[in-house]
Structures are given as C-alpha cells and as structure tokens.
Amino acid sequence: MLVRIPAVLGANEIARMRSALDAADAPWIDGLATAGHQGARVKRNAQLDEASALAMQLGQQLLAAIERNPLFIGAALPNAVYPPMFNRYAGGQHFGDHIDNAVRLLPGGGRLRTDLSCTLFLSAPDEYDGGELRVEDSYGTHSVKLPAGDMVVYPSTSLHRVEPVTRGARVASFFWVQSLVKDDGRRSLLFDMDCALQRLAASGADERARVQLTGCYHNLLRMWSEL
C-alpha cells in the first residue's frame, strides 16, 4: 500500500525548515556515514548529521506534525517512529535500487522493525530536475515527486530508488515506522475500512450499521495488533 499524505507541513513550517537546512553552517555529512553494506554501493547523497542539535530540533517538529495528522495515523497505525532524518541530492547524486534494512538501531538504544518507509518532500518539484522516488510493488513501478510539505508512505519491503538530480537540489526528510499491524495486507484492509467508515459518517448513513462496522474495525485491530 502506497499512500500520499498531503500538506503534512504548512508553508511557514517548510520555509523555516528550509532556511535552517540551507544555512551555511548546517551540519551536512556524506550519506555513506549511515549506509549499510547494501546501500554503500548505490548511495550518493548528503545527509544531515542525525546527532546534531539541528537534526533533533527539526525531527521533533516533524514528529509533532505527523502525530496530529489523521491520514498518517490511519494509514500507518504507528507503534514507534524512528527519529526523522534529512537528506539532500544535487549534482547528479542518486540512490540506486535497494530495500531498507528490516531493523534499525534507535539512537538512544533499542531496536525498531521497519514496516513502513516515509519520505516528506521539502523542495518544490520545480526546484530540481530528476530526483523521483521510484517504488516497485506487485502492480508495477510508482514514480513519486510531490509538492513541498507532502509525504509518501510505503511498505519498507519495497524495492525503491531515487533518480539522479540533474538540476537544483532535492531536500527531504525520511524515516521509518514500526506499525501496530506488521502485515501490509491486513494494514491495507484496516485503512480501507477506516476510510469507508469516515465517508459513511459524513454521508449520515445508518448509525447502527456504522457502529457495527466500527466494532468490526476495532476487533480486527485488536486481533492483529502487536503490543
């Protein structure tokens, strides 16, 4: 399931983040610093030092934004979220075909299973050429290049890549989610049911039927969730 989540950040929030990230003293490092064996062969980008005060400050702002976003909550059913990171592609930089590591070590200790991968765009599409996120699934290859402030969420099991940026700079945040529901097929069914229930509520459909369906949703979530 690939879900686009619009307007996670507003224009003012994006402007403040970009001002901080574009400043001369922003602590950008080689993206290879956090690349695993697989990624080191195909990863060519810059990355904000995740241990820096700026990365932690901006990451907290982004976490606050996604926590109040009902579409993200409904699609991801988050149990834990890896602290958001930030990257930059320019001058032909790219990230070749890869699948994200199944488990990430958390900065403060502990581990997180990567069920979902998330990319939030901080550059407008007309600021750069190339840089499309290509995500492959059983239905083919999806090309993703979203307005600044929009986010895409997709299964971490997906083969994906970032195409070379041939003009300008592509700045984004990326992170992973451990979901309450590990299985993507079950999570997709719950998301579809949640969306349908919201449409039924907006249409004023039969209340008793909606209560029964809501009960089905929560009983399935109770059956499938991992806590």
* Helices and strands (H and E) in the chain: how many: 6, 16
Contacts for 2 with CB less than 8 Å, ≥ 6 apart: 135, 137, 142, 144, 152, 153, 154, 155
Helix segments in 47-159, DSSP class H? 53-67, 70-76
* Global model pTM greater than 0.85: yes
The 10s digit of each residue's pLDDT in 4-48 is 999 999 999 999 999 999 999 999 999 887 766 666 789 999 999
> What does the buried/exposed string (b/e) look like for 193-225 if buried means 16 or more CB atoms within 10 Å of the residue's CB?
bbeebeebeeeeeeeeebeebeeebeeebeebb
pLDDT digits (tens, 9 = 90+) for 122-132: 999 999 999 99
Cα separation, 216 vs 92, whole angstroms: 50
In order of their start, the domains of the chain are 3-179 (2.60.120.620), 184-224 (4.10.860.20)
The alpha-carbon radius of gyration of the chain (Å, integer) is 18
Mean pLDDT of 42-62: 96
